Structure 1
Amino acid sequence: MLAGVMIPARNMPTMISGNGNVSGFGTSLLVQPSNMMEGQLHPLESESEIGRMRDDELDSTTKSGSENHEAASGDDQNPRPNKKKRYHRHTQHQIQEMEAFFKECPHPDDKQRKELGRELGLEPLQVKFWFQNKRTQMKTQHERHENTQLRTENEKLRADNMRYREALSTASCPNCGGPTAVGQMSFDEHHLRLENARLREEIDRISAIAAKYVGKPVVSYPLLSSPMTPRPFEFGAQPGTGDMYGAGDLLRSISSPSEADKPIIIELAVAAMEELVRMAQMGEPLWMTSLDGTTYVLNEEEYIRTFPRGIGPKPTGFKCEASRETAVVIMNHINLVEILMDVNQWSTVFSGIVSKASTLDVLSTGIAGNYNGALQVMATEFQVPSPLVPTRESYYVRYCKQHAEGTWAVVDVSLDNIRPSPTARCRRRPSGCLIQEMPNGYSKVTWVEHVEVDDSGVHSLYKQLVSTGHAFGAQRWIATLDRQCERLASVMATNVPTGDVGVITNQDGRKSMLKLAERMVMSFCAGVSASTAHTWTTLSGTGADDVRVMTRKSVDDPGRPPGIVLSAATSFWLPVSPKRVFDFLRDENSRSEWDILSNGGVVQEMAHIANGRDTGNCVSLLRVNSANSSQSNMLILQESCTDPTASFVIYAPVDIVAMNVVLNGGDPDYVALLPSGFAILPDGSTITATTSSAGGGIDTDAAGSSSGSLLTVAFQILVDSVPTAKLSLGSVATVNNLIACTVERIKASLSCENA
């Protein structure tokens, strides 16, 4: 046999065994490692030699497709090799009938095999062997086709690489004849360098795919270094976030990993995948049931014994947060994997937890046209929607793997050992989820969240919530995913009941309105946390809790009105349950009790879109009928959403003409929004993983006593339509008084309810 690197055939299930070895692969592509060291991918074995090898395999399987051993299958070998084996040759009619049946059902069950055997005059065992051999034959033919494609791609890359290297090596300055400087390159020469960089990434991708399956390091290719400056870290643009939400101090300094780092990253990702799958499946003594019986608690001593290698000891001053949660969600496993591996979709679905995120580098895009084997280096800020809880910055690799038919896993693990930073305050040990296919388009998701953090900067109000692990833990991820899957299902719903007043039945109008509401929620969540990109100024002595304000200049953003926008936010504690706070704030009938801008007018719901099984999950269009002529035509777009870990009521004034366009299916991206609203979290004293009888939300506990609530109130107000204007102290005082008055009204109303 030739020494080489195996790249698995596409669509073949793979398994990582307990010792980290990969099994279940077929030989597809052989790349000579000795030649790889020379900086290029050489052609494979001669096509005739490989062809003969595969022809021999194909001949044997093809022959077994029409002939069957009477006494043995491929799994039951005859222990007496000198004994002559007897064969049964099927008739042409039998083969044709089984071929036709194979197209409809390649895996017949016992009953189908018996029925087919009775019709064709064959024993069920003969039918079983024929179908086994046929499946083997089809797999072999598929592998040959994949081999040809990979070999062609390999040879093309090698030829292109040699051509560009030769062209670049002879590049010279047209004036002096010396080496070409970057600023003096012609367009064609610059194009060659860009192509060389692209080829480097493509070769790295193929090499990474090979390396991670056989455990061998990725070879660094001595291609000509690109003169381009290193790619800066840029967060994926989110609609409506504006320039206020740039990269933080830590994440701004992070760039793509170097060539020398890639083998280490791949090895770390493979080990993290094995650890995640085991942590998702193991019970006691690794995971112990909590005192209330609703959650699992990690046994840290057992964890160290079970996973002694890991990513190193816990840093001094850091504490461990580990949690696990399981739920069945209304989304198929393929779509779930796509959301997790697409940074824009992922940050949108989890906008209440992810304040910003970016993919720094893609080491592998996966194989077989899906995300199996995909490797991405990412940087993310995780948040609690309050200015009192610092975000958690993390630099990590995300690895996706298919473990069996219908079973996938996605794991994150920090790369702090590769790029240590003295300002890092969060380290992700193997965290992620195991996804298993369920009937009728559902999926079972087991989420593991395991981090080490320094949470000394958390405000005392949120200490209890954060220290229990509920602020960033697996429960919050699973609850958010479950709610968002229901929201996505409502977007695609076609059987909308038409009997209810105000229900939007126009499919295009529903999609446009939900897309607009999604942007509103993302903009609110991205601007309310204590991100390193925000500079909050605290205003004290107003009689209310401390109010934090910041400004942003909006220019050429169709999703925001131009000018100076003042954001103000405050967080405080209420002695009532989060469910009661949520129901009070989302109800249009009680809005006049706290909404100063409605000026005491009657608020009426004109239209709504249900977003899930809980009646509180919906998008509404509200009208304020006020005696004030300036507000008589005011509309409010509002989204309310709740799950067992967090609730939101987010709204924004909208233009009537623009909303008519949206309701008729028009583009919602050009509707200007300045979202305000509320984020409601439990205070951490009493948290259950179960939903209320209505299907969601956090209510009183079994004994009837209420847990408290942590309420964040945030406003965004346009204080000047000229972006170059200076912010006046009067504007700050006005906004401060507005938010302070709103807080006092909410406290007064809910205290009366609670009395």
Structure 2
Amino acid sequence: MDTDGGGSSDNEQYTSKRNGQKKMCHRHTPQQIQRLEDYFKDRPHPDESQRKKLCKELKLEPDQIKFWFQNKRTQSKAQGDRNCNMFLREENEKLQCENEAMLEALKNVICPTCGGPPVGIEERECNLQNLRLENARLKDEYGKISNFVSKHTPKRPTMVDSIASVHEQHNVETRISYETNPPTSHTIEPEPQFHIDIMQLSETAASAVEELKRLFTEDNFWVNSSITGTDMIDQGRYEKFSHAIKHFRSASACIESSRDGVVVPIEASNLIEMFLDSEKWKELFPTIVSEAKTIYEFGSELPTKENCNVLKVIRERLHILSPLVPPREFKIVRCCQQIEERVWIIADVSHSIVDSEQVGASCYKRPSGCLIQSLPNAQSKVMWVEHVEVDDRSKTHKMYKELLCGGSGYGAKRWIETLRRMCERMALSSILTVPTTDWSKVIESVEGRRSVMKVGERMLKKFNEMLTMSGKVDFPQQSKCGVRVSIRLNSAAGQPQGIVISAASSFSIPVSPLQVFTFLSNIDIRQQWDVLSCGHIITELAHVATGSSETDYLTILRPMQMENHGMLMMPKDSDKDEMVMLQDCYMDNLGGMLVYAPLDMSTMKCAVSGQSDPSLIPILPSGFIISSDGRRSTAEDGGTLVTLAFQILVSGKTNRSKEENEKSVDTVSSLISSTVQSIKALLNCPQD
């Protein structure tokens, strides 16, 4: 029986004694083994408290439980490797047999017309030329018939027909655009047309739409995961009808699939418009999509509300949770097709032509996307399918591997939860009256409320973009201490100008995500961990609801400076040059965020007045990302992974010495570390 090198087998446990005594062998009873087997199916990695419960239940020692699970995991991995190797050997043998058969057949090839020997090179070239001429003639006839049918038949055009009909017009428009409007920094420069086979792209898009139709309508393609409790694609059935090939062959590669659905308070046409605009797409998913850019666009002149035959090639970068989680980059073909009255499908799929230039790509998107159904009362029902191949486990920190492997990292549920929250936020932002759930001492108008919510959205977006930290560690000596640090020269509008230090640290604590969120959002104890409070009591100046949940809200906070009046400490009355904090937070089934930025009182007054452009108000957000550890399916139980990230403006100068930068980095790193230790102490968690 397999063991894990020096360990024990399934039904035996060895314990060694000191002073040179021999090892003793203890066999587990069949009942104990059966209970351990059943427990292993649900929790192959039990924590210390779970192992203690098993010890009491089965009357075994902690080491016996620990070693049994270690050995069982080793056996399961070895068995999986053996099965995989057997499958690969069988496939290899089949391919070798097919290869030999084809080679043998080529030796005896004959002319199909007369049965004589194979034709020569000159004859083949002549035949190919005839085929090209015949193909050109058929295309010309096809074009004439298509024009005739389109003029005399009120039929909705298909994706392929629509794209083909606008292909030549697009080429002409592109040439005119180059001649009259040279590319600027604000426009997407078209790549050379020979890189694109428009018909192949349109066929790929149409195929993706047809595949998604089946995945949305046929439940036999789906099975329920016994580990996560979510729906995932049965790969055996899927491969029979899709004939999909695997793009990554390494042992660490895996396939992630999931589906989910929600009803959101937004018109279907407005939602589709946001999906097809890369900038609005990024704003709709600020905590997932860090970059999005349209490279090519075809069929955009077709009215969305009528047939929605639109095809785009989009480059996007997705990033979540922590700098320890690698971003995922895709070049996708995105198309939108109306399949029924008031029902649309938006499909995304990676394409070999546009992906071939990616060197060392680690992810490939199989047909994924959403089905959007228009409902009464300005609502839409959205069903989401996410199906990708990834090979990024080696780049992921072990702290987050279990979460990502469980599918809840970039899965459909995260997209759906984000969509629900952002649609609710947009609905609350657009109302003409202040909800009864809001209250404020400083926001006096609906315009001011809307302006503050816009600034809050920018905070979440900028905070998430910062987490990638340019894909490098500028100060590796700090990363060894668990703090990732980088420096950038900030010159973008809407942020403080100068040198900014970004620092982040991720850590795990044995407390539920909801408890962590409740602790961090409690202003009564905030001065015990928040350096911005400077030890002062925090008061709330405004509370604005941003969603249907009580945990989705925006607040304006002010540290109260105290004055000594004899035996009493009284709040200081002046607000001259006083600092306040704008904070935006939310919590859903997968976790939450709490992001805040310091502002001086004069800047805050501009924001709440509703007279200033929210995109120009300078903010430098810091905050927390809270996530389950992947061992539970809800945010109410299980452990928590927390990412704390600070951004600090250290100088308005454009150049500083290396010594000054290193000193600032050490200060920020110490600040991060002390904050983490304070939070752990207040939550009664073990220190590192």
Does the pair score TM above 0.5? Answer: yes
Instruction: Give the structure 2 partner of residue 718 of structure 1.
Output: 649
Contact 2:585 2:592 in 1 (8 A): yes
Instruction: Give the structure 1 partner of residue 329 of structure 2.
Output: 393
Tell me if 1:441 matches 2:402: no
In 2, Cα distance between the equivalents of 1:227 and 1:508?
A: 39
In 2, Cα distance between the equivalents of 1:605 and 1:392?
A: 38
In 1, Cα distance between the equivalents of 2:294 and 2:438?
A: 44
Which residues of structure 1 form unaligned runs of 5+?
1-32, 55-139, 147-207, 238-251, 689-697, 701-706
Matches within 5 A, 1:736-747: 736-747=669-680
State the shift of 1:232 in Å: 9.1
Q: Give the letter for the 1:668 counterpart.
A: P
Contact 1:496 1:505 in 2 (8 A): no
The one of 476, 485, 503 aligned to 1:538? 476
In 2, Cα distance between the equivalents of 1:436 and 1:572?
A: 41
State the shift of 1:525 in Å: 0.4
In 2, Cα distance between the equivalents of 1:233 and 1:268?
A: 31
Matches within 5 A, 1:191-590: 211-212=160-161, 255=191, 258=194, 260-284=196-220, 286-291=221-226, 294-308=229-243, 310=244, 312-317=245-250, 318-365=253-300, 367-370=302-305, 372-420=308-356, 421-455=358-392, 456-497=394-435, 501-502=439-440, 504=443, 506-529=445-468, 532=471, 535-540=473-478, 546-555=482-491, 557-590=492-525
Instruction: Describe the SS at the equivalent of 2:476.
Output: strand
In 2, Cα distance between the equivalents of 1:622 and 1:488?
A: 23
In 1, Cα distance between the equivalents of 2:636 and 2:146?
A: 65
State the shift of 1:470 in Å: 0.6
Cα deviation digits, residues 498-549 of structure 1 (max 9, x gap): 58642746111111111111111111000113654x555334488xx51011
Contact 1:625 1:632 in 2 (8 A): no
State the shift of 1:621 in Å: 0.8
Instruction: Describe the SS at the equivalent of 2:323.
Output: coil
State the shift of 1:753 in Å: 12
Instruction: Give the structure 2 partner of residue 638 of structure 1.
Output: 583
1:361–1:500 CA distance, 2 compared to 1 (3 A)? closer
Q: Give the letter for the 2:482 counterpart.
A: D
1:681–1:396 CA distance, 2 compared to 1 (3 A)? same
Instruction: Describe the SS at the equivalent of 2:684.
Output: helix
Q: Give the letter for the 2:460 counterpart.
A: V
Instruction: Describe the SS at the equivalent of 1:751.
Output: coil
Q: Give the letter for the 2:598 counterpart.
A: P
Q: Give the letter for the 1:687 counterpart.
A: S
Cα deviation digits, residues 132-168 of structure 1 (max 9, x gap): xxxxxxxx9xx69x9xxxxxxxxxxxxxxxxxxxxxx
1:260–1:521 CA distance, 2 compared to 1 (3 A)? closer
1:43–1:266 CA distance, 2 compared to 1 (3 A)? closer
In 2, Cα distance between the equivalents of 1:607 and 1:360?
A: 42
Contact 1:400 1:410 in 2 (8 A): yes
Instruction: Describe the SS at the equivalent of 2:395.
Output: coil
Contact 2:622 2:647 in 1 (8 A): yes
Contact 2:320 2:327 in 1 (8 A): yes
State the shift of 1:233 in Å: 12
Q: Give the letter for the 2:519 counterpart.
A: F
Instruction: Give the structure 2 partner of residue 683 of structure 1.
Output: 629
Which residues of structure 2 form unaligned runs of 5+?
1-134, 564-571
Matches within 5 A, 1:603-752: 603-627=538-562, 633-666=578-611, 667-688=613-634, 698-700=635-637, 707-726=638-657, 728=660, 729-751=662-684
In 2, Cα distance between the equivalents of 1:267 and 1:231?
A: 32
1:739–1:217 CA distance, 2 compared to 1 (3 A)? same
Instruction: Describe the SS at the equivalent of 2:641.
Output: strand
State the shift of 1:445 in Å: 1.0
In 2, Cα distance between the equivalents of 1:233 and 1:639?
A: 35
Matches within 5 A, 1:72-221: 211-212=160-161
1:730–1:743 CA distance, 2 compared to 1 (3 A)? same
Contact 2:163 2:299 in 1 (8 A): no
In 2, Cα distance between the equivalents of 1:601 and 1:274?
A: 60
Instruction: Describe the SS at the equivalent of 1:258.
Output: helix
Cα deviation digits, residues 178-237 of structure 1 (max 9, x gap): xxxxxxxxxxxxxxxxxxxxxxxxxxxxxx987445989967999797996999998999
1:719–1:221 CA distance, 2 compared to 1 (3 A)? closer
RMSD: 3.7
In 1, Cα distance between the equivalents of 2:665 and 2:417?
A: 37
Instruction: Describe the SS at the equivalent of 1:588.
Output: coil
Cα deviation digits, residues 44-102 of structure 1 (max 9, x gap): 98xxx999x96xxxxxxxxxxxxxxxxxxxxxxxxxxxxxxxxxxxxxxxxxxxxxxxx
Contact 1:539 1:547 in 2 (8 A): no
1:580–1:257 CA distance, 2 compared to 1 (3 A)? farther
Q: Give the letter for the 1:398 counterpart.
A: R
In 2, Cα distance between the equivalents of 1:272 and 1:414?
A: 10
1:335–1:716 CA distance, 2 compared to 1 (3 A)? same
State the shift of 1:335 in Å: 1.6
Instruction: Give the structure 2 partner of residue 101 of structure 1.
Output: none
Q: Give the letter for the 1:677 counterpart.
A: G
In 1, Cα distance between the equivalents of 2:594 and 2:418?
A: 15
Q: Give the letter for the 2:280 counterpart.
A: Q
Contact 1:559 1:673 in 2 (8 A): yes
Q: Give the letter for the 1:440 counterpart.
A: N
In 2, Cα distance between the equivalents of 1:222 and 1:634?
A: 55
In 2, Cα distance between the equivalents of 1:753 and 1:573?
A: 10
Cα deviation digits, residues 326-385 of structure 1 (max 9, x gap): 122222211211111111111112111111111111022152354701111001111113
1:620–1:411 CA distance, 2 compared to 1 (3 A)? same
Q: Give the letter for the 2:468 counterpart.
A: S
Contact 2:344 2:372 in 1 (8 A): yes
State the shift of 1:35 in Å: 9.7
Instruction: Give the structure 1 partner of residue 113 of structure 2.
Output: none
Instruction: Describe the SS at the equivalent of 1:440.
Output: coil
Q: Give the letter for the 1:446 counterpart.
A: M
Instruction: Describe the SS at the equivalent of 2:683.
Output: helix
Query: TM-score scaled to structure 2, two decimals?
Result: 0.70
Contact 2:506 2:642 in 1 (8 A): yes
Number of residues paired by the alignment? 530
In 1, Cα distance between the equivalents of 2:625 and 2:437?
A: 32
My pick for the range that moved more, 287-296 or 657-666, is 287-296
In 2, Cα distance between the equivalents of 1:711 and 1:685?
A: 15
In 2, Cα distance between the equivalents of 1:565 and 1:590?
A: 28
Q: Give the letter for the 1:403 counterpart.
A: I
